[in-house]
Homo-oligomer: A and B are copies of this chain.
Protein backbone atom coordinates (compact mmCIF):
# COMPACT_ATOMS: atom_id res chain seq x y z
CA UNK A 1 0.00 0.00 0.00
CA UNK A 2 1.25 3.50 -0.83
CA UNK A 3 0.90 6.40 1.60
CA UNK A 4 -1.65 7.90 -0.80
CA UNK A 5 -3.91 4.85 -0.69
CA UNK A 6 -3.65 4.61 3.12
CA UNK A 7 -4.50 8.27 3.41
CA UNK A 8 -7.43 8.13 1.01
CA UNK A 9 -8.86 5.02 2.70
CA UNK A 10 -8.72 6.83 6.06
CA UNK A 11 -10.29 9.93 4.55
CA UNK A 12 -13.07 7.87 2.98
CA UNK A 13 -14.12 6.70 6.45
CA UNK A 14 -13.99 10.26 7.74
CA UNK A 15 -16.24 11.38 4.89
CA UNK A 16 -18.67 8.54 5.64
CA UNK A 17 -18.81 9.61 9.30
CA UNK A 18 -19.34 13.22 8.24
CA UNK A 19 -22.27 12.07 6.11
CA UNK A 20 -23.75 10.44 9.21
CA UNK A 21 -23.50 13.77 11.01
CA UNK A 22 -25.49 15.33 8.18
CA UNK A 23 -28.10 12.61 8.45
CA UNK A 24 -28.52 13.32 12.18
CA UNK A 25 -29.01 16.99 11.41
CA UNK A 26 -31.67 16.13 8.84
CA UNK A 27 -33.43 13.80 11.27
CA UNK A 28 -33.37 16.46 13.96
CA UNK A 29 -35.20 18.96 11.77
CA UNK A 30 -37.72 16.54 10.24
CA UNK A 31 -38.38 13.32 12.15
CA UNK A 32 -36.92 13.42 15.64
CA UNK A 33 -39.40 13.36 18.54
CA UNK A 34 -39.06 16.61 20.47
CA UNK A 35 -38.25 14.83 23.75
CA UNK A 36 -35.06 13.47 22.18
CA UNK A 37 -33.38 16.88 21.81
CA UNK A 38 -30.94 16.61 24.73
CA UNK A 39 -29.99 13.06 23.87
CA UNK A 40 -29.38 14.06 20.26
CA UNK A 41 -27.04 16.76 21.52
CA UNK A 42 -25.02 14.08 23.32
CA UNK A 43 -25.02 11.84 20.26
CA UNK A 44 -23.83 14.59 17.94
CA UNK A 45 -21.18 15.73 20.42
CA UNK A 46 -19.82 12.17 20.59
CA UNK A 47 -19.66 11.93 16.79
CA UNK A 48 -18.13 15.41 16.57
CA UNK A 49 -15.43 14.21 18.98
CA UNK A 50 -14.67 11.27 16.70
CA UNK A 51 -14.53 13.54 13.66
CA UNK A 52 -12.30 16.09 15.37
CA UNK A 53 -9.89 13.36 16.44
CA UNK A 54 -9.71 12.08 12.87
CA UNK A 55 -9.23 15.57 11.40
CA UNK A 56 -6.25 16.22 13.67
CA UNK A 57 -4.89 12.66 13.61
CA UNK A 58 -1.07 12.92 13.38
CA UNK A 59 -1.05 10.07 10.87
CA UNK A 60 -2.52 12.54 8.36
CA UNK A 61 0.68 14.57 8.56
CA UNK A 62 2.84 11.47 8.15
CA UNK A 63 0.86 10.18 5.17
CA UNK A 64 0.96 13.60 3.53
CA UNK A 65 4.76 13.79 3.96
CA UNK A 66 5.24 10.29 2.60
CA UNK A 67 2.87 10.98 -0.30
CA UNK A 68 4.90 14.06 -1.22
CA UNK A 69 8.05 11.96 -1.08
CA UNK A 70 6.50 9.18 -3.21
CA UNK A 71 5.49 11.78 -5.76
CA UNK A 72 8.95 13.39 -5.88
CA UNK A 73 10.74 10.07 -6.13
CA UNK A 74 8.17 8.94 -8.71
CA UNK A 75 7.37 5.73 -6.83
CA UNK A 76 3.77 6.83 -7.31
CA UNK A 77 2.44 9.09 -10.07
CA UNK A 78 -0.51 11.12 -8.89
CA UNK A 79 -3.61 11.65 -11.00
CA UNK A 80 -5.18 15.11 -11.10
CA UNK A 81 -7.93 13.90 -8.77
CA UNK A 82 -5.42 12.43 -6.31
CA UNK A 83 -3.40 15.63 -6.28
CA UNK A 84 -6.58 17.64 -5.64
CA UNK A 85 -7.54 15.37 -2.76
CA UNK A 86 -4.11 15.63 -1.17
CA UNK A 87 -4.22 19.41 -1.50
CA UNK A 88 -7.65 19.64 0.18
CA UNK A 89 -6.77 17.17 2.93
CA UNK A 90 -3.50 18.98 3.66
CA UNK A 91 -5.31 22.31 3.81
CA UNK A 92 -7.98 21.02 6.19
CA UNK A 93 -5.39 19.27 8.37
CA UNK A 94 -3.28 22.41 8.67
CA UNK A 95 -6.37 24.43 9.64
CA UNK A 96 -7.55 21.86 12.17
CA UNK A 97 -4.13 21.68 13.84
CA UNK A 98 -3.83 25.46 14.19
CA UNK A 99 -6.82 25.74 16.54
CA UNK A 100 -5.99 24.77 20.14
CA UNK A 101 -8.28 22.01 21.44
CA UNK A 102 -9.30 24.09 24.46
CA UNK A 103 -10.33 27.00 22.23
CA UNK A 104 -12.38 24.74 19.95
CA UNK A 105 -14.16 23.29 22.98
CA UNK A 106 -14.89 26.75 24.38
CA UNK A 107 -16.29 27.89 21.02
CA UNK A 108 -18.55 24.84 20.86
CA UNK A 109 -19.86 25.48 24.37
CA UNK A 110 -20.39 29.22 24.03
CA UNK A 111 -22.01 29.13 20.58
CA UNK A 112 -24.34 26.36 21.67
CA UNK A 113 -25.43 28.42 24.70
CA UNK A 114 -25.57 31.59 22.65
CA UNK A 115 -28.20 30.37 20.19
CA UNK A 116 -30.82 30.11 22.93
CA UNK A 117 -29.88 33.51 24.36
CA UNK A 118 -30.21 35.06 20.90
CA UNK A 119 -33.66 33.52 20.42
CA UNK A 120 -34.78 34.95 23.77
CA UNK A 121 -33.35 38.42 23.01
CA UNK A 122 -35.00 38.38 19.61
CA UNK A 123 -38.34 37.47 21.12
CA UNK A 124 -37.96 40.19 23.75
CA UNK A 125 -36.81 42.70 21.10
CA UNK A 126 -33.94 43.65 23.38
CA UNK A 127 -30.33 43.45 22.34
CA UNK A 128 -28.76 44.73 25.56
CA UNK A 129 -28.78 41.51 27.60
CA UNK A 130 -27.45 39.55 24.65
CA UNK A 131 -24.50 41.86 23.96
CA UNK A 132 -22.07 40.30 26.48
CA UNK A 133 -22.71 36.83 25.00
CA UNK A 134 -22.27 38.10 21.46
CA UNK A 135 -19.11 39.90 22.51
CA UNK A 136 -17.70 36.63 23.83
CA UNK A 137 -18.64 34.76 20.65
CA UNK A 138 -16.89 37.43 18.59
CA UNK A 139 -13.82 37.43 20.85
CA UNK A 140 -13.53 33.64 20.58
CA UNK A 141 -13.98 33.60 16.81
CA UNK A 142 -11.42 36.40 16.51
CA UNK A 143 -8.95 34.41 18.60
CA UNK A 144 -9.60 31.40 16.38
CA UNK A 145 -9.26 33.42 13.18
CA UNK A 146 -5.98 34.92 14.42
CA UNK A 147 -4.70 31.42 15.21
CA UNK A 148 -5.71 30.32 11.71
CA UNK A 149 -4.16 33.40 10.11
CA UNK A 150 -0.81 32.97 11.90
CA UNK A 151 0.11 36.61 11.38
CA UNK A 152 -2.09 37.27 8.35
CA UNK A 153 -5.51 38.92 8.23
CA UNK A 154 -7.93 37.35 10.69
CA UNK A 155 -11.08 37.89 8.63
CA UNK A 156 -9.40 36.46 5.54
CA UNK A 157 -8.57 33.36 7.57
CA UNK A 158 -12.20 33.05 8.68
CA UNK A 159 -13.34 33.33 5.06
CA UNK A 160 -11.23 30.32 4.04
CA UNK A 161 -13.55 28.07 6.03
CA UNK A 162 -16.35 28.86 3.59
CA UNK A 163 -14.75 30.15 0.40
CA UNK A 164 -11.15 29.03 0.01
CA UNK A 165 -8.93 31.29 -2.04
CA UNK A 166 -10.74 34.61 -1.66
CA UNK A 167 -9.85 37.60 0.50
CA UNK A 168 -11.90 40.25 2.25
CA UNK A 169 -10.26 42.92 0.11
CA UNK A 170 -11.33 41.16 -3.09
CA UNK A 171 -14.89 40.85 -1.87
CA UNK A 172 -14.91 44.47 -0.75
CA UNK A 173 -13.78 45.58 -4.20
CA UNK A 174 -16.58 43.60 -5.88
CA UNK A 175 -19.17 44.87 -3.43
CA UNK A 176 -18.00 48.48 -3.79
CA UNK A 177 -18.66 48.26 -7.52
CA UNK A 178 -22.07 46.60 -7.02
CA UNK A 179 -23.53 48.75 -4.29
CA UNK A 180 -24.15 52.07 -6.10
CA UNK A 181 -25.70 50.35 -9.11
CA UNK A 182 -27.99 48.23 -6.92
CA UNK A 183 -29.05 51.22 -4.82
CA UNK A 184 -29.81 53.15 -8.02
CA UNK A 185 -31.72 50.21 -9.48
CA UNK A 186 -33.89 49.57 -6.42
CA UNK A 187 -34.63 53.29 -6.04
CA UNK A 188 -36.02 53.32 -9.59
CA UNK A 189 -38.45 50.45 -9.10
CA UNK A 190 -41.80 51.39 -7.60
CA UNK A 191 -44.90 49.25 -7.36
CA UNK A 192 -48.16 50.99 -8.14
CA UNK A 193 -51.23 50.31 -5.98
CA UNK A 194 -52.54 47.84 -8.58
CA UNK A 195 -49.35 45.73 -8.77
CA UNK A 196 -50.36 42.07 -9.10
CA UNK A 197 -50.30 40.00 -5.89
CA UNK A 198 -51.02 36.32 -5.44
CA UNK A 199 -53.52 35.57 -2.70
CA UNK A 200 -56.01 32.85 -1.83
CA UNK A 201 -55.97 29.41 -0.22
CA UNK A 202 -53.41 26.92 -1.49
CA UNK A 203 -53.92 23.47 0.10
CA UNK A 204 -50.89 21.73 1.58
CA UNK A 205 -51.28 18.55 -0.48
CA UNK A 206 -51.45 20.48 -3.76
CA UNK A 207 -48.37 22.53 -2.80
CA UNK A 208 -46.43 19.35 -1.98
CA UNK A 209 -47.52 17.75 -5.26
CA UNK A 210 -46.43 20.81 -7.23
CA UNK A 211 -43.16 20.95 -5.26
CA UNK A 212 -42.44 17.35 -6.28
CA UNK A 213 -43.32 18.13 -9.90
CA UNK A 214 -41.13 21.23 -10.00
CA UNK A 215 -38.28 19.39 -8.24
CA UNK A 216 -38.50 16.72 -10.92
CA UNK A 217 -38.48 19.34 -13.67
CA UNK A 218 -35.28 20.72 -12.13
CA UNK A 219 -33.70 17.28 -12.29
CA UNK A 220 -33.88 16.25 -8.64
CA UNK A 221 -33.39 12.46 -8.44
CA UNK A 222 -35.88 11.14 -5.89
CA UNK A 223 -34.35 7.65 -5.95
CA UNK A 224 -31.36 9.30 -4.23
CA UNK A 225 -33.25 11.93 -2.24
CA UNK A 226 -36.54 12.86 -0.63
CA UNK A 227 -38.62 15.95 0.17
CA UNK A 228 -39.98 16.62 3.65
CA UNK A 229 -41.30 19.65 5.47
CA UNK A 230 -39.20 21.71 7.85
CA UNK A 231 -39.49 25.16 9.42
CA UNK A 232 -36.37 26.40 7.63
CA UNK A 233 -35.79 24.66 4.29
CA UNK A 234 -32.37 23.09 3.75
CA UNK A 235 -30.50 20.54 1.66
CA UNK A 236 -28.47 17.84 3.38
CA UNK A 237 -26.07 15.10 2.35
CA UNK A 238 -23.83 14.22 -0.57
CA UNK A 239 -23.42 11.55 -3.25
CA UNK A 240 -26.40 9.17 -3.33
CA UNK A 241 -28.34 10.40 -0.30
CA UNK A 242 -29.16 14.09 -0.74
CA UNK A 243 -32.37 15.19 0.94
CA UNK A 244 -34.19 18.48 0.83
CA UNK A 245 -36.93 20.09 2.87
CA UNK A 246 -39.49 22.71 2.01
CA UNK A 247 -41.91 24.88 3.97
CA UNK A 248 -45.60 25.26 3.36
CA UNK A 249 -47.84 28.24 4.08
CA UNK A 250 -51.37 27.66 2.80
CA UNK A 251 -51.89 31.37 2.16
CA UNK A 252 -48.73 31.81 0.08
CA UNK A 253 -47.53 29.14 -2.38
CA UNK A 254 -44.48 30.85 -3.86
CA UNK A 255 -42.42 30.28 -0.71
CA UNK A 256 -42.85 26.53 -1.08
CA UNK A 257 -42.15 26.46 -4.80
CA UNK A 258 -39.11 28.73 -4.81
CA UNK A 259 -37.55 27.32 -1.65
CA UNK A 260 -37.93 23.88 -3.27
CA UNK A 261 -36.21 25.05 -6.45
CA UNK A 262 -33.48 26.70 -4.37
CA UNK A 263 -32.80 23.53 -2.37
CA UNK A 264 -32.94 21.42 -5.54
CA UNK A 265 -30.13 23.64 -6.82
CA UNK A 266 -28.00 22.67 -3.82
CA UNK A 267 -29.06 19.04 -3.97
CA UNK A 268 -28.70 18.71 -7.74
CA UNK A 269 -25.12 19.96 -7.48
CA UNK A 270 -24.35 17.19 -4.96
CA UNK A 271 -26.22 14.53 -6.93
CA UNK A 272 -24.52 15.40 -10.21
CA UNK A 273 -20.94 15.14 -9.00
CA UNK A 274 -19.30 12.18 -10.73
CA UNK A 275 -19.79 8.90 -8.87
CA UNK A 276 -15.99 8.45 -8.98
CA UNK A 277 -15.67 11.10 -6.27
CA UNK A 278 -18.28 9.59 -3.91
CA UNK A 279 -17.26 9.70 -0.22
CA UNK A 280 -14.06 11.60 -1.01
CA UNK A 281 -13.17 15.25 -0.36
CA UNK A 282 -13.91 15.89 -4.04
CA UNK A 283 -17.42 14.44 -3.78
CA UNK A 284 -19.12 17.53 -2.48
CA UNK A 285 -19.75 21.11 -3.52
CA UNK A 286 -16.43 22.98 -3.51
CA UNK A 287 -17.50 25.99 -1.43
CA UNK A 288 -20.48 27.78 0.04
CA UNK A 289 -20.31 30.37 -2.73
CA UNK A 290 -20.31 27.89 -5.60
CA UNK A 291 -23.06 25.93 -3.84
CA UNK A 292 -25.12 29.08 -3.58
CA UNK A 293 -24.46 29.85 -7.25
CA UNK A 294 -26.29 26.65 -8.15
CA UNK A 295 -29.25 27.25 -5.86
CA UNK A 296 -29.48 30.86 -7.10
CA UNK A 297 -29.28 30.14 -10.81
CA UNK A 298 -31.91 27.40 -10.41
CA UNK A 299 -34.14 29.66 -8.33
CA UNK A 300 -33.62 33.06 -9.96
CA UNK A 301 -32.07 33.13 -13.41
CA UNK A 302 -34.03 30.00 -14.44
CA UNK A 303 -36.95 29.66 -12.00
CA UNK A 304 -37.92 33.33 -11.91
CA UNK A 305 -37.30 33.97 -15.60
CA UNK A 306 -40.40 35.26 -17.42
CA UNK A 307 -40.25 32.23 -19.74
CA UNK A 308 -40.36 29.70 -16.91
CA UNK A 309 -42.96 31.76 -15.03
CA UNK A 310 -45.21 31.42 -18.04
CA UNK A 311 -45.02 27.63 -17.82
CA UNK A 312 -45.35 27.67 -14.03
CA UNK A 313 -48.48 29.82 -14.29
CA UNK A 314 -50.20 26.99 -16.15
CA UNK A 315 -49.06 24.40 -13.63
CA UNK A 316 -50.27 26.62 -10.78
CA UNK A 317 -53.72 26.86 -12.31
CA UNK A 318 -53.82 23.11 -12.85
CA UNK A 319 -52.96 22.48 -9.19
CA UNK A 320 -54.84 25.33 -7.50
CA UNK A 321 -57.57 26.39 -9.93
CA UNK A 322 -58.03 30.03 -11.04
CA UNK A 323 -55.54 32.47 -9.47
CA UNK A 324 -55.85 36.03 -8.20
CA UNK A 325 -53.49 37.07 -11.02
CA UNK A 326 -55.11 36.59 -14.36
CA UNK A 327 -52.27 36.35 -16.89
CA UNK A 328 -48.81 34.83 -17.10
CA UNK A 329 -47.39 38.34 -17.32
CA UNK A 330 -49.09 39.39 -14.09
CA UNK A 331 -47.93 36.15 -12.44
CA UNK A 332 -44.35 36.88 -13.55
CA UNK A 333 -44.58 40.33 -12.00
CA UNK A 334 -45.95 38.85 -8.75
CA UNK A 335 -43.10 36.33 -8.64
CA UNK A 336 -40.55 39.09 -9.24
CA UNK A 337 -42.03 41.77 -7.01
CA UNK A 338 -39.38 44.17 -5.66
CA UNK A 339 -39.97 45.56 -2.16
CA UNK A 340 -37.74 47.15 0.43
CA UNK A 341 -38.26 44.73 3.35
CA UNK A 342 -36.24 44.37 6.52
CA UNK A 343 -35.63 40.62 6.29
CA UNK A 344 -32.77 39.19 4.25
CA UNK A 345 -34.34 35.76 3.71
CA UNK A 346 -37.45 37.35 2.22
CA UNK A 347 -35.57 39.78 -0.01
CA UNK A 348 -35.97 39.93 -3.77
CA UNK A 349 -33.08 39.64 -6.23
CA UNK A 350 -32.46 43.38 -6.30
CA UNK A 351 -32.32 43.97 -2.56
CA UNK A 352 -30.71 40.69 -1.52
CA UNK A 353 -27.10 41.66 -2.10
CA UNK A 354 -27.57 44.97 -0.29
CA UNK A 355 -28.46 42.95 2.81
CA UNK A 356 -25.27 40.94 2.44
CA UNK A 357 -23.01 43.94 1.89
CA UNK A 358 -24.28 45.49 5.11
CA UNK A 359 -23.43 42.31 7.06
CA UNK A 360 -20.09 41.85 5.33
CA UNK A 361 -18.82 45.30 6.21
CA UNK A 362 -20.00 45.01 9.81
CA UNK A 363 -18.65 41.51 10.48
CA UNK A 364 -15.32 42.34 8.86
CA UNK A 365 -15.04 45.33 11.17
CA UNK A 366 -16.06 43.25 14.19
CA UNK A 367 -13.47 40.53 13.54
CA UNK A 368 -10.86 43.11 12.57
CA UNK A 369 -11.46 44.97 15.84
CA UNK A 370 -12.65 48.16 14.11
CA UNK A 371 -16.20 48.00 15.42
CA UNK A 372 -17.15 47.48 19.06
CA UNK A 373 -20.12 45.25 19.72
CA UNK A 374 -21.83 48.06 21.68
CA UNK A 375 -21.84 50.16 18.48
CA UNK A 376 -23.14 47.35 16.29
CA UNK A 377 -26.85 48.11 16.41
CA UNK A 378 -26.39 51.80 15.57
CA UNK A 379 -24.06 50.90 12.70
CA UNK A 380 -26.59 48.41 11.37
CA UNK A 381 -29.48 50.86 11.54
CA UNK A 382 -27.55 53.73 9.93
CA UNK A 383 -26.43 51.57 7.05
CA UNK A 384 -29.88 50.08 6.53
CA UNK A 385 -31.49 53.49 6.29
CA UNK A 386 -28.86 54.59 3.76
CA UNK A 387 -29.16 51.55 1.47
CA UNK A 388 -32.86 50.68 1.80
CA UNK A 389 -34.40 54.09 2.44
CA UNK A 390 -36.30 52.82 5.48
CA UNK A 391 -35.59 52.99 9.24
CA UNK A 392 -35.30 49.68 11.11
CA UNK A 393 -38.33 49.44 13.40
CA UNK A 394 -37.12 46.80 15.92
CA UNK A 395 -34.15 44.50 16.61
CA UNK A 396 -35.83 41.39 15.17
CA UNK A 397 -36.13 43.28 11.88
CA UNK A 398 -32.54 44.43 12.21
CA UNK A 399 -29.41 43.20 13.89
CA UNK A 400 -31.14 40.27 15.65
CA UNK A 401 -32.78 38.79 12.55
CA UNK A 402 -30.15 36.22 11.56
CA UNK A 403 -28.80 33.26 13.55
CA UNK A 404 -25.37 33.39 11.88
CA UNK A 405 -23.45 35.70 14.24
CA UNK A 406 -25.02 34.29 17.42
CA UNK A 407 -23.79 30.79 16.48
CA UNK A 408 -20.39 32.16 15.53
CA UNK A 409 -20.56 32.14 11.73
CA UNK A 410 -18.30 34.99 10.60
CA UNK A 411 -17.16 34.93 6.98
CA UNK A 412 -20.24 33.03 5.87
CA UNK A 413 -22.55 35.88 4.80
CA UNK A 414 -20.52 37.09 1.79
CA UNK A 415 -20.70 33.64 0.20
CA UNK A 416 -24.40 34.28 -0.46
CA UNK A 417 -23.55 37.24 -2.68
CA UNK A 418 -20.55 35.50 -4.20
CA UNK A 419 -23.06 32.83 -5.16
CA UNK A 420 -25.13 35.48 -6.92
CA UNK A 421 -22.05 36.86 -8.67
CA UNK A 422 -21.01 33.36 -9.82
CA UNK A 423 -24.60 32.67 -10.92
CA UNK A 424 -24.50 35.83 -13.03
CA UNK A 425 -21.32 34.62 -14.77
CA UNK A 426 -22.70 31.13 -15.29
CA UNK A 427 -25.98 32.46 -16.60
CA UNK A 428 -24.23 34.61 -19.20
CA UNK A 429 -22.15 31.65 -20.38
CA UNK A 430 -25.19 29.36 -20.35
CA UNK A 431 -27.19 31.76 -22.53
CA UNK A 432 -24.32 31.93 -25.01
CA UNK A 433 -23.96 28.15 -25.07
CA UNK A 434 -27.67 27.33 -25.35
CA UNK A 435 -29.46 29.41 -27.96
CA UNK A 436 -33.24 29.44 -27.70
CA UNK A 437 -33.14 28.69 -23.97
CA UNK A 438 -36.28 30.72 -23.27
CA UNK A 439 -38.31 28.62 -25.70
CA UNK A 440 -37.37 25.56 -23.70
CA UNK A 441 -37.97 27.22 -20.33
CA UNK A 442 -41.42 28.31 -21.51
CA UNK A 443 -42.21 24.59 -21.96
CA UNK A 444 -40.94 23.74 -18.48
CA UNK A 445 -37.99 22.03 -20.15
CA UNK A 446 -34.88 22.64 -18.09
CA UNK A 447 -32.81 19.86 -19.62
CA UNK A 448 -30.52 22.04 -21.76
CA UNK A 449 -29.76 24.40 -18.87
CA UNK A 450 -29.27 21.61 -16.35
CA UNK A 451 -27.13 19.57 -18.73
CA UNK A 452 -24.83 22.53 -19.32
CA UNK A 453 -24.45 23.20 -15.59
CA UNK A 454 -23.89 19.53 -14.87
CA UNK A 455 -21.28 18.93 -17.54
CA UNK A 456 -19.39 22.18 -17.10
CA UNK A 457 -19.48 22.64 -13.35
CA UNK A 458 -21.37 20.22 -11.13
CA UNK A 459 -19.79 16.98 -12.29
CA UNK A 460 -16.34 18.17 -11.18
CA UNK A 461 -17.21 18.54 -7.49
CA UNK A 462 -14.29 20.00 -5.54
CA UNK A 463 -11.64 19.14 -8.14
CA UNK A 464 -10.71 22.79 -8.61
CA UNK A 465 -10.76 25.71 -6.19
CA UNK A 466 -13.98 27.75 -6.12
CA UNK A 467 -13.11 30.53 -8.51
CA UNK A 468 -11.35 28.12 -10.88
CA UNK A 469 -14.45 25.95 -10.82
CA UNK A 470 -16.60 28.79 -12.12
CA UNK A 471 -14.01 30.06 -14.57
CA UNK A 472 -13.46 26.56 -15.93
CA UNK A 473 -17.20 26.40 -16.64
CA UNK A 474 -17.55 29.88 -18.16
CA UNK A 475 -14.16 30.31 -19.80
CA UNK A 476 -14.01 33.87 -18.47
CA UNK A 477 -12.82 35.62 -15.30
CA UNK A 478 -15.29 35.93 -12.46
CA UNK A 479 -16.77 39.41 -12.05
CA UNK A 480 -19.89 41.21 -10.93
CA UNK A 481 -20.75 42.76 -14.31
CA UNK A 482 -22.91 39.92 -15.71
CA UNK A 483 -25.05 39.85 -12.56
CA UNK A 484 -25.59 43.62 -12.56
CA UNK A 485 -26.42 43.68 -16.26
CA UNK A 486 -28.84 40.79 -15.81
CA UNK A 487 -30.61 42.50 -12.89
CA UNK A 488 -30.81 45.89 -14.58
CA UNK A 489 -32.10 44.42 -17.84
CA UNK A 490 -34.62 42.09 -16.24
CA UNK A 491 -36.14 44.51 -13.74
CA UNK A 492 -36.16 47.54 -16.00
CA UNK A 493 -38.16 45.52 -18.50
CA UNK A 494 -40.51 44.05 -15.90
CA UNK A 495 -41.23 47.41 -14.27
CA UNK A 496 -41.55 49.26 -17.57
CA UNK A 497 -44.25 46.83 -18.73
Asked if A241 and B278 make an inter-chain contact with CB atoms under 8 angstroms apart, the answer reads no
Contact partners of A45 in chain B: CB under 8 A? 16
Does residue A36 face the partner (Cβ distance < 8 Å to B)? yes
With A13-B49, A31-B31, A47-B17 already in contact, the answer to whether A42 and B224 are too (CB < 8 A) is no
Q: Which of A210-226 contact B (CB under 8 A)?
A: 221-226
Asked if B50 and A223 make an inter-chain contact with CB atoms under 8 angstroms apart, the answer reads no
Contact partners of A240 in chain B: CB under 8 A? 33, 35-36, 38-39
With A39-B240, A46-B13 already in contact, the answer to whether A31 and B226 are too (CB < 8 A) is yes
Contact partners of A16 in chain B: CB under 8 A? 39, 42-43, 45-47
Does residue A179 face the partner (Cβ distance < 8 Å to B)? no
Docked CA distance A243–B23 (Å) = 16
Contact of A223 among B35, B221, B225 (CB under 8 A): B35
Instruction: Please state the number of chain copies in the assembly.
Output: 2
Q: Which of A277-292 contact B (CB under 8 A)?
A: 278-279
Does residue A232 face the partner (Cβ distance < 8 Å to B)? no
Which residue from chain B places its CB closest to the CB of A20 in the assembled complex? B43
Chain A contact patch, size range: 35 or more
Does residue A57 face the partner (Cβ distance < 8 Å to B)? no
Docked CA distance A42–B20 (Å) = 10
Docked CA distance A278–B36 (Å) = 11
Q: Which of A24-56 contact B (CB under 8 A)?
A: 24, 27, 31-36, 38-40, 42-43, 45-47, 49-50
Asked if A39 and B241 make an inter-chain contact with CB atoms under 8 angstroms apart, the answer reads yes
Contact partners of A243 in chain B: CB under 8 A? 33
Docked CA distance A31–B47 (Å) = 21
Asked if B279 and A39 make an inter-chain contact with CB atoms under 8 angstroms apart, the answer reads yes
Contact of A20 among B13, B20, B33 (CB under 8 A): B20
Closest 9 CB pairs of A and B: A36-B241, A16-B46, A35-B224, A35-B223, A13-B46, A16-B43, A39-B240, A36-B240, A16-B42
Which residue from chain B places its CB closest to the CB of A222 in the assembled complex? B33
Asked if A33 and B279 make an inter-chain contact with CB atoms under 8 angstroms apart, the answer reads no
